Structure 1
Amino acid sequence: MSLTVYSTCPQSKDVEPSRYLEAVRATARWSEEAGCAGMLVYTDNSIADPWLVAQTAITATERLAPLVAVQPVYMHPYTAASMVSSIACLHGRSVHLNMLAGGFKNDLVALGDRTEHDDRYARTVEYTQIMMGLLRGETVTHDGRWHQVENLKLAPACLPELQPEVLISGSSPAGRAAAAEIGATPIRYPEPLAETDPAEAPTGGGVRMGIIARDDADEAWRVAHERFPTDRTGQVAHAMAMRVSDSHWHHQLARRTRVETPPAELGSLLYGEPEPYWLGPFENYQSFCPYLVGSHDRVAAEVARYLERGVEVFVLDIPPDPEDLGHAGEVFSRATAAVGA
């Protein structure tokens, strides 16, 4: 069984500028100490450049691989490939890639991009093929719909052992098809397994989720509601975002049943605890992924079910402190032991 865990880097818009550099360094160190393979670095029109943030993470750690979000609208595929190979040359380290097809719709419109959802995936496929060909040391000629290059060669070359892992959103049919075409790991926002027929549940690939686990379930839920309180302003922002979003995963999550009831009032299904799948942070516009909340054993049992369905990659939400990553590590340890047994 293969298991890869990524954390997520704080966003510059959420941290005072004078403290952001150290926040990146600290989160990178926590992630490495917790055993994460890498750390996702977001990109959009409102935050610091992900390549500069990635280099900061690299200089603060010994082996952590930044998982850089790559938006084709922002730069030519040669430039993105050059970033990967230059970091490899300067630091002897690998950078992993989270290929984007979409993003915030208003961000794309502001950049003059009104490409439709499925066409954006077609563009990302073409972009990634050029970029990865360059990183493999090929001389690339490509006459495509979105990009045209002729006898293009990358320097400095990227060593084979520092080639990037490639991830891409795989919640929509277009995303899954793109992942298959470029050989990327499709990442989806997972379904609540209690509501999903095992025969119909997606298998393999990776999932994006948060984990809040403690020895005691009540303590875990207390932490969860304290960290992500009900917020009317956030709910309004969430509703507004829904109206302009064409994201498949955004609408997919929004269709799920809302969970507002305190855990003590919910029905128990396993270990005397409620179901751990929770959309509170998503519905209050505090995070874009579902969470698993509960005792270490209960959350580990749920993670084990994803592992049994072939999930090999977990991308965790932004950790508030090293303790949180430690609890997540305990969950993965128990889950892998259960599946192995």
Structure 2
Amino acid sequence: MSKKIRIFATVPRNLPPREHVGQLLRLARFSDEAGLAGILLFAGNDTLIEPWPMAQHVLAHTRSCAPLIAVNPAYMHPFTVAKFVTSLALLHSRKLFLNMITGAATSDLQSLGETLSHSDRYARLAEFIEIVRQLLSSTRPLTFRGQFYSTEHLQLRPALPPALMPEFLIAGQSEAAHLIARDTGCLMMQMLPPDLDKGVTSPGVNLGIFARPTRDQAVREATMLFRDDAEKRALLDYSMAQTDSVWKRQLRDAGQSGDIHDNGYWLLPYLTFESDCPYLVGSYDEIGARLRRLAEQNVTTMILDVIADEAELAHIRKALAAGEVI
């Protein structure tokens, strides 16, 4: 029997306001129908609707879709996060996933008065995770003394049932991110690397899938949909000046040509600022085999790039079925 992988779909960031909620719910229902684990909800200055109220909306209108909620200490206190988790658990008896992040555009961090260095933001993240976990795992008053947070007999009620304890994911490729993931026991995510056989070192990966019945058809249609564009590449360069993200720079440096590799690995959608992750391009069987290989490499969790529509979801489902990973 093939190993299974939990798969989360990504919601679009910049939908027109009138379409935003409907499109997110459509994707959440995709998740239910396709057997995916859930959907990733972004957080940030440019997010149209905060992920927590959107998570409530998703839980109220789906059967099993699990929100994977981006949490950045720059925006919230750990008690607030713990309170939201218990509130949603009480309302829906459903489990959440928390995608713990530290990054944002430099200008956004400056507008928030955020002055911590990259490494200090990760050190703060470790304390944040510890406080949230302790609050959720016990109703005993919590006294915590850290470099960034201090609590005095802080108590959270009601208790969270152990089965509904959220899982914590960490996205990042810096040494600080890896250290925090190891020390906190969070599930480490990484971008799919060009060397698919040796470069996957984390249990979670981010990628996009472009699958068709044959490889030639997939390559032809993918290159028609995602076209190279100097102005879009310039947008990526501009965004690089607004971030200290290690993984963003690694991806840019790995794929300047924009060519599809023999193994199906493709970075042009990322280089042209149309995606936040690499793609796999190929036939259903080829991508299915590659996903099965990732599962054998102990990948347990995937975050997929934005799924455009029902037709594209149907192609992705065929690749997942070929790999027997869900």
Q: Structure 1, residues 76-121: CA drift from partner, whole Å, max 9, x if none?
A: 1000111111011112222210001222222111111121111111
Q: Does 1:284 align with 2:282?
A: no
Secondary structure of the structure 2 residue equivalent to 1:244:
coil
Secondary structure of the structure 1 residue equivalent to 2:44:
coil
Instruction: Give the TM-score taking structure 1 as reference length.
Output: 0.89
Distance 1:318 1:141 in 2: 41
Structure 2 match to 1:271: none
Q: 1:297 aligns with which of 285, 290, 295?
A: 285
Distance 1:275 1:187 in 2: 21
Cα offset, 1:322, TM superposition = 2.6
Distance 1:42 1:224 in 2: 26
Q: Structure 1, residues 35-79: CA drift from partner, whole Å, max 9, x if none?
A: 111111011101121111111211221111100000101011000
Cα offset, 1:294, TM superposition = 1.1
Instruction: Give the TM-score taking structure 2 as reference length.
Output: 0.93
Secondary structure of the structure 2 residue equivalent to 1:275:
coil
Runs of 4 or more, structure 1, over 4 Å off, are none
Contact kept? 1:168, 1:185, Cα under 8 Å = yes
Distance 1:137 1:254 in 2: 44
Contact kept? 2:255, 2:271, Cα under 8 Å = no
Cα offset, 1:213, TM superposition = 0.4
Contact kept? 1:136, 1:158, Cα under 8 Å = yes
Secondary structure of the structure 2 residue equivalent to 1:75:
coil
**Code of the aligned partner of 1:16:** P
Q: Does 1:203 align with 2:201?
A: yes
Distance 2:304 2:209 in 1: 7
Contact kept? 1:142, 1:150, Cα under 8 Å = yes
Structure 2 match to 1:155: 157
Q: Does 1:175 align with 2:177?
A: yes
Structure 2 match to 1:332: 320
Percentage of matched positions with identical amino acids: 36
How many pairs align?
A: 321
Distance 1:299 1:321 in 2: 19
Contact kept? 1:82, 1:156, Cα under 8 Å = no
Contact kept? 1:28, 1:57, Cα under 8 Å = yes
**Code of the aligned partner of 1:288:** D
Structure 2 match to 1:10: 12
Secondary structure of the structure 1 residue equivalent to 2:293:
helix
**22-31 or 147-156: bigger deviation:** 147-156
Structure 1 match to 2:45: 45
Distance 2:60 2:52 in 1: 13
Unaligned runs of 5+ residues in structure 2 are none
Q: 2:296 aligns with which of 289, 295, 308?
A: 308
Structure 2 match to 1:59: 60
Distance 1:55 1:204 in 2: 30
Structure 1 match to 2:221: 223
**Code of the aligned partner of 1:242:** M
